[in-house]
């Protein structure tokens, strides 16, 4: 059984960030909330392309928008990012637990042949 398989929301978020342009937009929004025109001015893509990428990021739950006058300001969505981070943290926790178990097994076995050879060589 696969326990770390992403739920659909996590899979959607990961797929959305799989595109380099969307990742760049996501990273730009991490620095500060921005309108479509501002983002397009900092990236080598058109305003309509930025709008389409923002739509995908919004559907993935990674960004939200707010109307300010005639513009929409986009920013990162903390709850969506928290879900994605929780998913990724499971891998980190699992990796640390595996590392700890391996170290404990090695310590229980005692020094290996290489360590014994180094110890014997250091007596000379």
Identify the pLDDT of residue 119.
Answer: 60
Higher-confidence position of 96 and 63: 63
Identify the pLDDT of residue 112.
Answer: 66
Q: What are the percentages of helix, strand and coil residues in the chain, rounded to 5?
A: 70, 10, 20
Identify the pLDDT of residue 6.
Answer: 53
Identify the pLDDT of residue 3.
Answer: 47
Which residues have CB under 8 Å from 4's CB, separation 6+? 87, 90, 91, 94
Identify the pLDDT of residue 122.
Answer: 57
The domain limits of the chain are 8-77, 80-122
* Burial (CB count <10 Å: 0-12, 13-18, 19+), residue 74: buried
Higher-confidence position of 98 and 113: 98
CATH topology of domain 8-77: Arc Repressor Mutant, subunit A (1.10.10)
pTM, to two decimals: 0.71
The residues that bridge with 76 in the sheet, in sequence order, are 63
Higher-confidence position of 116 and 2: 116
Model confidence pLDDT, tens digit, residues 38-94? 999 999 999 999 999 999 999 999 999 999 999 999 999 999 999 999 888 887 888
Rg from Cα positions in the chain = 23
């Amino acid at each position: 059984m696969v326990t770390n398989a992403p739920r659909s929301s996590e899979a959607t978020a990961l797929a959305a960030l799989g595109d380099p342009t969307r990742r760049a937009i996501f990273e730009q929004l991490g620095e500060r909330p921005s309108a479509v025109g501002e983002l397009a001015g900092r990236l080598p893509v058109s305003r309509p392309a930025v709008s389409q990428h923002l739509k995908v990021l919004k559907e993935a739950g990674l960004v939200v928008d707010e109307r300010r006058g005639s513009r929409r300001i986009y920013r990162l969505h903390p709850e969506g990012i928290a879900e994605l981070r929780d998913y990724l943290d499971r891998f980190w926790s699992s990796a640390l637990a595996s590392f700890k178990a391996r170290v404990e097994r090695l310590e229980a076995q005692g020094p290996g042949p290489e360590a014994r050879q180094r110890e014997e060589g250091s007596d000379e």
